[in-house]
Structures are given as structure tokens and as C-alpha cells.
Structure 1
Amino acid sequence: MPFGTKITKEGVRFRLWAPQTKKAELILESGGDERSLSMQSHAGGWFELVTAEAAVGSRYRFRLDGGLAVPDPASRFNPSDVHGASQVIDPARFRWTDRDWTGRPWEQAVIYELHVGTFTPEGSFRAAQDKLDYLASLGITAIELMPVADFPGRRNWGYDGVLPFAPDSGYGTPDDLKELIQAAHGKGLMVFLDVVYNHFGPEGNYLHVYGKPFFSERHHTPWGNAINFDGENCRNVREFFIHNALYWLEEYHLDGLRVDAVHAIFDDSSPDFLEELAERARSGPGRERKIHLVLENDDNAARYLTRKADGAPRHYDAQWNDDLHHVLHHLLTGESDGYYADFADAPVKHLGRALTEGFVYQGETSTYRHGRRRGEISRDLPPTAFVTFLQNHDQIGNRAFGERLSDLTDPRPLRAAVTLLLLMPNPPLLFMGEEFACPTPFQYFCDFGPDLARAVTEGRRNEFAGFERFADPELRRGIPDPSAPSTFFASKLDWAALETPRHRQWWSFYRSLLTLRRDRIVPLLKSIDLGRSHFEILGERGLSVVWPPVDGNGLMMLSNLSGETLPYPNPPPAPPLAVSDQDIPDSLVSGRLPAWSTAWFLILTGD
């Protein structure tokens, strides 16, 4: 890695790119004492020093032009938070025992998104490790960690990170994270990490002082100037983030990355940053084991998801499919505010398209986006190119009160939607606690300094001013304060709920469907004729979807997402493979599709 520290025979090598700086010094800290060592200047804005006065465990900063002392932007660990000194880490000291682990095929992915700080009472990597048996027994095959890069303060979702190579010290040490990943591999679980390459957080980012080429004057994001991926001096910026991706995959043995909000990554060059990142990951660690790369992309840019002739991803394995979430959420709750408005006109038609073609918006104009066209043609992509979900951190936490779907709809509609989600050919994602209808919310929380904290609280509440429900300023003041510790603690999973019958029943329901997915659905995925999948609308809000077989078996789904029984005179192709409620088979025999119901069937070759 060209950035940060490296252990050598001569001592520790320190390397910093500071193109706005004329003089840089290494400050070694020990107790209350400091020792200053001059760094050698090199062409292109680089400073370097190899010294035997530093060792593993040494605390250090860089002093710029005799003034400001800053942490290493490529710090592997910052024990005293983002404003404190960095610590020298020797990655070779960790003893890996997972050398035989080569990952799992993407079609086996059942993803469990979790926030380390609220997943357990302790909120640590070590405590999360104690839950691995629980996740494996549920039927999870991949854990997805929300961002762990060092953020300011003690509480944060992780998207305000400013030291992208340093696991946040509030969760534990780098070795603690490696132990979690290694233990997960020992139980057959992949581990993915959510990474943020579209902005730095608003507090603790010193690159604005000495690394101005990191930021673009041409492109802008909701968080300010965009990262400079295509302007002057962009090569080192691109390398910083590409090496960050490789660092997580190689040094931490991660199985994949979920790249956050890439629609806010602006790059007019070719290949663009996302294409180069994927190529470097696949030609690097991806040569030796299975590496999976997933995007969040509001632009629905299908070009990043194309496949090679052998079916392997050219760049990215999949994208989070917000379209499918939005239409299902509208059908279950009736909500049509904000982006749900784009799906309220013909929700069942939109759902059918999402199930058979991937994106709902493939170039059509979006009312929510003021008539802007959104998306690219996705109908030629396989279902495995779209990660599907009913809940995730955004869709829960960006609600005013962080309510989960189990608080917004009744059990029968939710069972119908869960049955649809967990058995469709797409890889499903669950958000922590969803599987037992966790009674605690997941709210937006952070821990900035006083002035920024006040601005965030005010801004958070004003975000909801456009919603009819919060038109009254007094009601907006009741929205939880993101900076209050109580908001964070209210968002921790209530594991005790699993001991009650209602929540245990939900857990058993999820587990039974995931077992069925593993045993009966995953083996079918390579035998389905993707080009001939089709849907039919039944009545007002019923849907029949068929994924025909090439050889072997295909799939059929019937779903009634309304409160009224629908006539269904066609005989089912076979006894149901799965149903959301036990009364469905008898109803189908009688020519009826019950209210709020989903049933799955196998289609034999020739049917």
C-alpha cells in the first residue's frame, strides 16, 4: 500500500501525500512526550520517512508546515478517535487460520445487514462474534457490516467516517474485527463491508487543509464538493480509495464490499473509478477466491451489472433494488409520500416488472425527480443481479421515528410479503432483528461536536417539514434527537423479545423459508430460463409470475396483496412448495386466492 505505514527491516516506513504542504514532520508520541522527525520531500507532493525510532504500537501524527498536527489519513487504527494520534499496526502479526476458505457462490447469498454498535448490548466486534451460531442456524450465509471506518464520537451509523482504513475503536481493535471475520468463515458465513467512497464525514476530515486535490471543483454532492476521481491530480485520489477496497479484501479477508451511494460518485473518465475498482479487485484477491461486489445506485445504471459470456459478472455482482422495496412498501402500508409516489399509480404492474426484469425504472421519467429520466434497460440481467429486501438501515432509519415494517402493517400482509421475498430468485437481504419482528426501532443517531450536533438535529427535523404528518413544527420537535444518547440506546436490538411466543414464531417462520430456499430454490437458479420470465395481473392487486425452466424445474408464484379474496379458477400446477398461511391450499382448490397471501410452486419441465 503506497499510503500510511509499512513495517520494514530498517524500521517503520511512514508515507503521506500532502500536495499543499512544503514541510512535513513525523510526531512520535509516548506518554506526554513528543519527538519530531523531519520527513523527506519527494516529487508529486509525497513525504516519506523510515525510522527505527517507531515500532508496532507507536502513536504518531504528521505536523504540516510547523503548525497543524493531523492523524494519518491511511491510519490502520486511531485508538483516541479521529482527532487523536494514529497507531502503528503490523498486519502480519495476526495469525489467520482460514486459509482454506475460498468463499461461497453468489447465488447462495442470504445477506444479514447489521450495525455493530446496536446489534448487541455491548456493541462490539467481539460481541457480534457470539451471535454467529444464531445467524448460521437462521439460514444466513453472509453478514453485511454497516460502515466501520473511524467516525467522530462514540455513536454513528458509519456514513460519516473520515479515516477509511481504521476500524472505529469504539467497536474494538483491528484484530477484533479479524477475529470476527475468521470465526464467521469457520461457520460458513461470508462477511461483506459497506464502504463509503462518495464523501468524507463533516467532522475530523483534515484533507481539506493539505489534500485539496481530494475534492472536485466541478462536481458536487449533498455533502459538498465531490471526491475528485477525474480532475487534475486525481490519480493518487483514485489509488487511495482503490487501495482501501483492496486493503479490506486482502488484509481483512473480507468476502465482498457494498459500495454506498455510487450515484454521488462523479467521474467522466474511462474507465471510470467504479470500473477500475472492480477490475483491480477481481484481478487481485478475486483471482484466488470468490469476491462479491455490490452497489447502491439510485441511477439504476444497469451497465455496471452486465455479465460475461460464462455468466460471471463483468464488474459488479448486484445492486440493491430500491424499486422493488418501494413498490412492496407502498402495497403493504399505502404510503405514497416522497419516492413512494413513483410507484403508487400501478403498483402491481411495477411489482411484476421488478420481479421479471429487475428495475421498475429503466429510462422512464420520475415524478419524484421532477420529470428526470431514471435507469437503464435491465431486462437482460439475471435475478441474481438485484439484491432484494423489505427493510434495511435506510428504509427504517430514515423514517422520523425509525419504525420497522412489523410496526406498520399487520402480520398476515407481512407474512405474504416475506414469503414472496425469501423465495424469489434474487438474493434476499434482511436487516438485523427483522427476522423476529424486533420491537425496538432503528433511529438515526450521531455524536458530533456541540455546534454541528445542533445543526444536525435541526436539519433532521426540518427534513420532514414537507410531509403532511409533520407540517406542525411542534410535532417535528417530537422527532428523536440524533445527538441524544437515548436515541442510540433505543435502537439496540431487544434480544429478550425472542423469548416471547410472538417473536419466536416470526423467527421460526423466517428460518423455515430460508431452509426451503437453500434446499429447493438455490439449486433451481441455473435451470431457469431468465429470458422468458413473465407476469400476469390478477384482478386489482393479484399477481402471477412464472420463471420457466430450461431444463429441470421452473418456478411460479401467486400473490394477492390486497384485503379482498380474488377468484383464481386455474388449477395450481402442483401442490404448493410454500405458502404464507395454511388456509391457502384449500382456497386454491376452491378457485380462490385469499386476501394477503403468497404461494410458490415448482414447474416441471414440459408443464
Structure 2
Amino acid sequence: MTEQFSYPFPFGAQLQEDGSVLFRIWAPNQKGMSVVNPDSSAREDMQPEDGGWFRLATRAFGAGDAYVYALPDGRRVPDPASRCQRDDVDGPSLVVDPRAYRWRNAAWLGRPWEEAVLYELHVGTFSPEGTFDGLRRRLGHFVDAGFTAIELMPVADFSGTRGWGYDGVMPYAPDRAYGSPDDLKQLIDEAHGLGLMVFLDVVYNHFGPVGNYLHAYAEAFFDDARKTPWGAGIDYTQRPVRDFFLHNAAYWLEEYRFDGLRFDAVDQIVDPSDTHFLVEMAAYIRQRITDRHVHLVLENDQNQALLLQRDPAMNPRLYSAQWNDDYHHVVHAQLTNETDGYYEDYSDDRLARIGRALATGFVYQGEKSPFRGGRIRGEPSAHLPPSAFVNFIQNHDQIGNRAFGDRLAALAEPQAVEAALCLLLLAPQVPLMFMGEEWGETRPFCFFCDFHDELADAVREGRRSEFSRFARFQSEEAREKIPDPNALATFEQSKLDWEKARDGGPHQARLGLVRELLAVRAREIAPLARDIGPNAGSFEVAGNVLRVAWQTQRGTLVLLANLSDSPASRPPQSGRNLYAVPGQAGIGDTLPPWAVVWTLAEGGSE
């Protein structure tokens, strides 16, 4: 069975059924716009429409043709809604026939959210090829290990050939460094054939510093009074702006058949409209796509439980879940004893904070944050089910934003990391791992980009100055050792070492542990997760031992954890053992150092 999918967003270059192409662009501060073929210099003027729009229907262009928009002053710009760039973000856009790809797994309906085990990856460093095709050839790895979903860091076209993707400027165009639109579709299609969901990280809070030409013809796209940490704020009070991103999300989900989206740093999306953009976004997607599972996930430093509300059947009203940075921060602090930066907020009562995150969601649910100067952070979240939270002990930010891209394997003892993995992968929250974590990758994952001239200098020196407040980077000599984000070597050293997964030693043993844990999760935890409702979790701390319990329709899921270097007395416990690490931790009156034990007291009692 083969099918075709096309999402007809109302701008850009849309190939019509009769073979013509319809061009539309919002350029409210221009009096005229034209479409130009840069290869032949053929030029056609666009017709003005109400509200600052320009339109052209023509047979002079077809699939595969290059085009640019020409402004009255002679400047030529790419299409902000380009489906594909011929070269890089500064060059011509291409007319794409989205129906050219024939889907083989079009009947795929996705998977329930409670089955999600997410694997975050960067396309350019995951495989030696650094492409969609290189990733596609390794899809079997995820299935063998027990993952059910891969999550791609942003692939929207960005300047240069290497970067994290958060400086994209072409939200509709997969970056050419990774492959063609059809290469991405084939990756998703084959993943679905293997039972894997595919998620995409999207950035709707800013545009990158190179290749964004919107200021030239649509100044109203931006809010000049507000800046984000990465660039000008986007003005979501403008209807064309809202539509640009609403359609972008639907485009990825419908034309590319992604199973879900992760919305980057939504706390930087400021919208004074009566209906906040984030609310309209979720409602739009939920109304459009009702025939398969689609999952919407937030990154939101404000810990807004309101966006994660469930209906009486425990289905998400808006967003499926949020990345729980609180969980990462407190577990990281417990494993490493770091208290710099935002770890300051998790420097004390760590076991209780871990317990609170596991039992009730956020650590900060309306308390003052010392790191934020005493500002109130978060909302109560105990009424939300565990599935409203994505937990992790590593991700691209928490590794790559360190000066040298250190992974947890370089910062904590192996038995401590294994205990943290046992917590992460068997807790009822949705777990996420970062590429290579499953075999204990030790290569760094650094921040890298591909800027040039003054911007390259500014990024390099800006990054080094960020660390000047840390004691070990007080001297200029120490800061100069921080890798240059623009250097090719910084990118190359961030690529995975696949030989470690087959080394026959500790890395292969770690991969075996992850496989074992994910098999237990699929067999025991995933079937329980749907039944864990609001206010179902509780926790207590006795000495070095954390105990967390969740009431389910089948019984009580219980965690006992000794997250310290010293043995501890085991509290009274009953029920069927599900898993213990290390192996002997499941028996006796003593919990060894870094011991984690999971049990299920079936029948509603312990």
C-alpha cells in the first residue's frame, strides 16, 4: 500500500493539481513583490491582497525549480516558508512536490503515550554519515535496545553545515546537510514500519542570526520591545505570525507523519492575546488530527501545570507532557554534588526533592527559586498523572551547555549512574535518554555551530565569557581551553563512537542493562502507567533511603532507593519484586550503596 501526503499551508510555493504553482508571501511593509527564477532571470510580479499579502499563480515554475522573492529595491530573498533550499539558507528556494514520496506504512496509527521511551539524538553526530540516511540505516538499534520513539533535535534549515538546529531560519525546510525532504520521509516511514514513533524538536521562540530576511519585508513579525536570550521576540498578536507557526506544526505532523513535537523553551514565547498562542496551537492540532496518536511535549521553565491538564478520561486537553528539568537537576546534584548555577536550587534535601518529583511532578510548585533571585517558580502538579512528565538524567542541553560537553559517565561513579538509570527507566513517568547514553558514551557532546567572521568571534567569546563566573574559569588561560563552537574539530569530537557498543566490556554491559530495564518496563510498567491517575503518588525519606509509592488499579508500585555510598537498613516491604540493581539488593535487610528496588503489591495493598 502506498499513499501520498501533502499539507496545503496558505503561503510559500504550493504545487497545484493542474501543474501550476501558487506563491504567497506576507510582506506588509513592501508595496510590491515579484517571483524570480535565479537560473533564467525570469520574473513575474505578484498581485497584492488585503492585509499585506502578495499572490502569484503561474505555470512558469514547476517541481524542482529554484525561486526567490524580489523586493522593489532589488534585494532578493528566499521563501520563509520554503519546503527545501537548494544550497543553504541564503540561496534560492525550491518548488517541491510533496506528493512525490510514496508512503509504504501509511496505515501507521502511532502508539499510546504511556508506551513512549524517548531517545533524543542529533542527526549530524548520531551516525558517521551525519544524515537522515545514516540514521535510517541504524533504526534496528533502537528496536533491539527497547526504545519506542526517537526524537530529532531541530532539523529546520540553519546557516552552515553543522549546528544544534536551534538557530534555524527556515521552519518548513529540512536542512540540506542532512538530506532531502524525501530522505526524511523515508526515515520516518521505515521507523513506523519497525514500530518506532518519531518526534521532532521545533523552535517557535526566535529565529537564528543568519539567513532570516523577515525584517526586510515583514517587520511586524517581531516585537521590537522584547528580546529573547537568542534574538528578537516574535509578535504573536499578529494573525499571520500565529498562522505561520500553527501551520508549521501541522505540516510536520501531516506531511511528514511525525508522531509528536517537542516545543523548545516556550517560556520565551510571550503572547498578551486573549487566547495564548500555546493554547491555540494545541487546540488546532487536537482538532485536526483525530485518527492517530499525536503527542505534544513542552520545554517550559515556568513549570505551568495548566498546560498539562487532563480530561475526565485522563487524556491531555492540550499538551501531553513537559520535559521535567527539575528531575534532572536534583538527580544530577545527588550523583555529582554539583551546586553551581541552577543546581543551587537543589543543593539540600535532595532525596526529598527526588521523591517529590517522582510522586507529584515538579520539584518547584510555587516555591521561591534561589537561583532566580527568590522568584516564585512553578504551579502545583500532584493532580497530574506521571505521564505528564518526561524525565531524563541527560539531554543535549545538560551535556552540551557544559564547558567541555561532559557526559554523566565522566562525572559520576558507574554504580551511581546505573542506579539513576534504574530510577529513570522504571518510573511511571515517560523516560528520555540522549544518544549514546545507553552504552555509557564517554565522548563529549559539545556546543557547535558554523558561523563566520565577526559572528563567529562573538559566539566563541560569548560562550567563554558565560563560564567566567565559575571558579575554575576565572583566568583567561582556562577559558581559552573551552572548545571553539565554530571549529570543525568541536563538531567531529561530538560524534558517537559506535565501537563502544560492541566492545565486549563495560559499554556493552551498560547497553545490556538498559535492554533489561526496558524489557521490564514494557512488560510491567507501561501497562500500569495508564492506570495511575491524579494524586496517586506519595513519598517518604528515612535516613539514606527514599521510598516512593504510586496507587494503581492493579495495586501499589513501590520504589526503594539508597542513593548514597553507604549501606542502609531496608524498610518493611512486601509485594512481587520487579527489578533490583545491583542484583542482591532485592533480598535481605540491608540496601547496598546505590541500590534500587522496584516491587508491585498487587490487589491494592502492600
Which TM class, normalised by the smaller chain length? over 0.9
Counterpart in the other structure of 1:468: 471
Matches within 5 A, 1:201-600: 201-230=208-237, 234-284=238-288, 286-500=289-503, 501-528=505-532, 530-539=534-543, 541-549=544-552, 551-568=553-570, 570-574=571-575, 576-586=577-587, 589=588, 591-600=589-598
Counterpart in the other structure of 2:3: none
Name segments (4+ residues, structure 1) moved above 3 Å: 526-530
Counterpart in the other structure of 1:100: 107
Question: RMSD across aligned C-alpha pairs, in angstroms?
Answer: 1.1
**1:171 and 2:174 aligned:** no
Q: Distance in 2 between matches of 1:10 and 1:561?
A: 64
User: Does structure 1 retain, via aligned residues, the 8 Å contact 2:66–2:86?
Assistant: no
Counterpart in the other structure of 2:4: none
**1:2 and 2:4 aligned:** no
**Mean alpha-carbon deviation: is it higher for 174-183 or for 18-27?**
18-27
Q: Distance in 1 between matches of 2:534 and 2:525?
A: 14
Counterpart AA for 1:6: Q
User: What SS does structure 2 have at the residue aligned with 1:356?
Assistant: helix
Q: Distance in 1 between matches of 2:199 and 2:110?
A: 11
Q: Distance in 2 between matches of 1:81 and 1:514?
A: 40
Q: Distance in 2 between matches of 1:327 and 1:4?
A: 45
Unaligned runs of 5+ in 1: none
Q: Distance in 1 between matches of 2:330 and 2:461?
A: 30
Counterpart AA for 1:298: D
* Deviation at residue 594 of structure 1 after TM alignment: 1.2
* Deviation at residue 79 of structure 1 after TM alignment: 2.1
Q: Distance in 1 between matches of 2:68 and 2:512?
A: 51
Matches within 5 A, 1:142-221: 142-221=149-228
Q: Distance in 1 between matches of 2:546 and 2:442?
A: 31
Encode CA deviations 1:356-403: one digit per residue, 9 max, x unaligned: 110010111100000110011111000000000000000000000001
User: Does structure 1 retain, via aligned residues, the 8 Å contact 2:19–2:62?
Assistant: no
Q: Distance in 2 between matches of 1:10 and 1:521?
A: 52
User: What SS does structure 2 have at the residue aligned with 1:348?
Assistant: helix
* Deviation at residue 529 of structure 1 after TM alignment: 5.5
Counterpart in the other structure of 2:5: none
Counterpart AA for 1:260: D
Q: Distance in 1 between matches of 2:549 and 2:406?
A: 33
User: Does structure 2 retain, via aligned residues, the 8 Å contact 1:229–1:238?
Assistant: yes
Encode CA deviations 1:534-573: one digit per residue, 9 max, x unaligned: 111020x320111123x323210111111111122x4431
**Mean alpha-carbon deviation: is it higher for 313-322 or for 44-53?**
44-53
Encode CA deviations 1:433-482: one digit per residue, 9 max, x unaligned: 00001121100000012110110000000000011121111101000000
User: Does structure 2 retain, via aligned residues, the 8 Å contact 1:524–1:553?
Assistant: no
Identical aligned pairs, as a percentage?
Answer: 51
User: Does structure 1 retain, via aligned residues, the 8 Å contact 2:577–2:598?
Assistant: yes
**Mean alpha-carbon deviation: is it higher for 382-391 or for 221-230?**
221-230
User: Does structure 1 retain, via aligned residues, the 8 Å contact 2:208–2:231?
Assistant: no
Counterpart among 61, 64, 75 of residue 71 in structure 2:
64
Q: Distance in 1 between matches of 2:21 and 2:576?
A: 67
* Deviation at residue 224 of structure 1 after TM alignment: 3.2
Counterpart in the other structure of 2:601: 603
Q: Distance in 2 between matches of 1:527 and 1:447?
A: 47
**Mean alpha-carbon deviation: is it higher for 381-390 or for 92-101?**
92-101
User: Does structure 2 retain, via aligned residues, the 8 Å contact 1:530–1:548?
Assistant: no
* Deviation at residue 575 of structure 1 after TM alignment: 5.1
User: Does structure 1 retain, via aligned residues, the 8 Å contact 2:304–2:378?
Assistant: yes
Counterpart AA for 2:600: L
* Deviation at residue 295 of structure 1 after TM alignment: 0.1
User: Does structure 1 retain, via aligned residues, the 8 Å contact 2:360–2:381?
Assistant: yes
Q: Distance in 1 between matches of 2:32 and 2:480?
A: 49
Change (3 A) 1:165 1:145: same
User: Does structure 1 retain, via aligned residues, the 8 Å contact 2:382–2:534?
Assistant: no
User: Does structure 2 retain, via aligned residues, the 8 Å contact 1:524–1:554?
Assistant: no
Change (3 A) 1:382 1:227: same
**1:121 and 2:128 aligned:** yes
User: Does structure 1 retain, via aligned residues, the 8 Å contact 2:110–2:293?
Assistant: yes
Counterpart AA for 1:507: L
User: Does structure 2 retain, via aligned residues, the 8 Å contact 1:190–1:254?
Assistant: yes
Counterpart AA for 1:151: F
Q: Distance in 2 between matches of 1:529 and 1:538?
A: 26
Counterpart AA for 1:580: V
User: What SS does structure 2 have at the residue aligned with 1:576?
Assistant: strand
* Deviation at residue 530 of structure 1 after TM alignment: 4.4
Encode CA deviations 1:492-514: one digit per residue, 9 max, x unaligned: 00001112111110100000000
Counterpart AA for 2:183: D
User: Does structure 1 retain, via aligned residues, the 8 Å contact 2:13–2:24?
Assistant: yes
User: What SS does structure 2 have at the residue aligned with 1:379?
Assistant: coil
User: When the two structures are superposed, what TM-score results if normalisation uses the length of structure 1?
Assistant: 0.97
Counterpart among 55, 70, 77 of residue 48 in structure 1:
55
Q: Distance in 1 between matches of 2:338 and 2:179?
A: 40
Change (3 A) 1:447 1:529: closer
Counterpart AA for 2:466: E
Counterpart in the other structure of 1:11: 20
* Deviation at residue 210 of structure 1 after TM alignment: 0.9
Counterpart AA for 2:366: G
User: What SS does structure 2 have at the residue aligned with 1:140?
Assistant: coil
Equivalenced residue count is 595
User: When the two structures are superposed, what TM-score results if normalisation uses the length of structure 2?
Assistant: 0.97
Counterpart AA for 1:403: D
Counterpart among 36, 43, 51 of residue 36 in structure 1:
43
* Deviation at residue 577 of structure 1 after TM alignment: 1.3
* Deviation at residue 10 of structure 1 after TM alignment: 5.6
User: What SS does structure 2 have at the residue aligned with 1:352?
Assistant: helix
User: Does structure 2 retain, via aligned residues, the 8 Å contact 1:357–1:378?
Assistant: yes
Counterpart in the other structure of 1:111: 118
User: Does structure 1 retain, via aligned residues, the 8 Å contact 2:385–2:532?
Assistant: no
Counterpart among 132, 143, 153 of residue 136 in structure 1:
143
